């Protein structure tokens, strides 16, 4: 995939980090299987990306609200990661990578969800 558009969504750090999180999660799903928890995690990660896409052209309170929805979905991703860890489904290194990417996207989304 070419990520050349520096002025659209790809110019947003949050979009690129969320894409990285989604890619990493897809790798986990490929290894552990597609059950209700991984499907929910996939939906939540996709919702993060879709809400960022909706927030990008929006302004003011509408933009902040869309980023808030994305932040809520990232919070749900945290729970999915915790469940995968408790089940012992994912290697420690991959869990750490998922947690770091999710922490980063959550921190950015929290800031972006405040109206400027």
| pLDDT band of 5, cuts 50, 70, 90 | low
* Cβ(66)–Cβ(55) below 8 Å: yes
Instruction: Name all domains of the chain by residue range, CATH numbers in brackets.
Output: 9-112 (1.20.1440.60)
State the DSSP code for 50. H
Structure token digits, residue 89: 């489904």
State the DSSP code for 115. -
Q: Where are the alpha helices (DSSP H) in the chain?
A: 13-32, 36-55, 60-87, 92-112
Instruction: Give CA angle at 33 (40, 107), nearest 5°.
Output: 45
**Mean pLDDT of the 95-111 span:** 98
pLDDT (0 to 100) of residue 92: 96
């Amino acid at each position: 995939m070419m990520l050349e558009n520096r002025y659209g969504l790809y110019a947003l750090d949050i979009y690129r980090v969320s894409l990285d999180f989604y890619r990493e999660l897809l790798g986990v799903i490929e290894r552990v299987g597609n059950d209700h928890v991984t499907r929910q995690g996939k939906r939540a990660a996709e919702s993060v990306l879709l809400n960022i896409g909706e927030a990008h052209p929006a302004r003011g309170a509408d933009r902040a609200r869309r980023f808030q929805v994305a932040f809520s979905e990232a919070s749900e991703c945290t729970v999915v990661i915790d469940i995968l860890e408790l089940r012992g489904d994912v290697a420690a290194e991959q869990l750490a990578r998922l947690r770091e990417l999710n922490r980063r996207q959550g921190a950015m989304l929290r800031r972006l969800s405040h109206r400027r």
